[in-house]
Structures are given as C-alpha cells and as structure tokens.
Amino acid sequence: MSNSQQLFEENQLARHLGSGALYKVLQPNVLLESDKTPMVVYRSQYDGVIWTRPLHEFMLKFEPLKGSGTST
C-alpha cells in the first residue's frame, strides 16, 4: 500500500476541494472486481448518499480532515 492510500482512513472526514462539502470515508481501499482498480467508498454528510470513486480521482478532489479518523 502506498503512502497516498494511507492518507484516508476508515471513518475519516474528507472535504471536497471544489464544493467544500464534507464526506465520510467508509472504505478507503477496496478493489473494483472487473480490473482491480483501487476505489474509495464514501458517504455525503449532507444527505447520506453513498458514492464510489477511483482512488486516484479521490486523491485529486478531496482533502483529509486531520483528527477525524478512527486512529488518534
């Protein structure tokens, strides 16, 4: 696992860089079955909608909020 994949932890909040909206990372390191693409599963803190996005895209569009993950 690379350092970039470790930036986001399960239950950590992330801010969308474009809109500023908050999302909770549900699963930071899952694989798309068809081609093993690393994916992130996350939920909107506004309306509860669950989303998935390739990890490389997630890394470009979201910033982790420090201290919001499960580890201290």
State the DSSP H helix or E strand holding residue 22, giving kind and residue range, or none if neither: strand 22-31
What's the pLDDT score for residue 68?
63
Q: Who contacts 26 (Cβ-Cβ below 8 Å, separation ≥6)?
A: 10, 11, 41, 42, 43, 50
Distance CA 68, CA 16 (A): 15
pLDDT, tens only, 13-49: 999 999 999 999 999 989 999 999 999 999 999 999 9
Contact of 12 with 23, CB cutoff 8 Å: no
pLDDT-derived band at 6 (thresholds 50, 70, 90) equals low
Name the pTM for this structure: 0.82
3-state secondary structure of 19: coil
Given a cut of 60, whether residue 58 has pLDDT beyond it is yes
